Amino acid sequence: MSNAARILLVKTALDGHWRGLSVVARALRDAGFHVIMGGMLTGAEIVRAAVDEDVDLVGLNVGGHVQVVERVLGELRAARPDLPVFAGGVLPPASCKRLGALGVECYPPGSSLDDIVAAARRLTGHLAKP
């Protein structure tokens, strides 16, 4: 397990619904990933957690507007330009499109756990530790 890729899951909004995050975290853990739960964090806090925990992938649970996610992404990219990011949560189609253009894969409600786990494998693949 010590070689498992490390995934930081955070909430970008001050909205405490945790059901979606919970099932995704469980699926990723069951698939062998090391999942770190960051809670509700600001952009600066996410950067700190990503660096401190030396993670290979960040998962953003979105419960608010896409502009907040874009700002978080900007801060994250400035600090760790190569760190892959994917997102889930309440993401209207237009938000998915905007985030997709920024290289963030989106998994809105109804996405299958298999697809999310496959994405995590693919996104961390080139970073997998020996």
Interface positions with other proteins (CB under 8 A)? 9, 12-19, 21-23, 25-27, 37, 39-40, 42-44, 63-65, 67-68, 90, 92-94, 108-110, 112-114
Give me the least distance between CB of 26 and other proteins, in Å please: 5
Residue 18 or 127 having the CB closest to other proteins: 18
Q: Which is nearer to other proteins, 44 or 128 (CB)?
A: 44
First to last CA, the chain: 12
- Token digits of residue 88: 């889930």
Q: Which is nearer to other proteins, 12 or 124 (CB)?
A: 12
Measured between alpha carbons, how far is 122 from 38 in angstroms, rounded to an integer?
Answer: 22
Cα separation, 92 vs 109, whole angstroms: 10
C-alpha 17/C-alpha 37 separation (Å) is 14
- Other C-beta atoms within 10 Å of 11: how many? 23
- Name 8's bridge partners: 36, 58
Nearer to other proteins, 23 or 128 (CB): 23
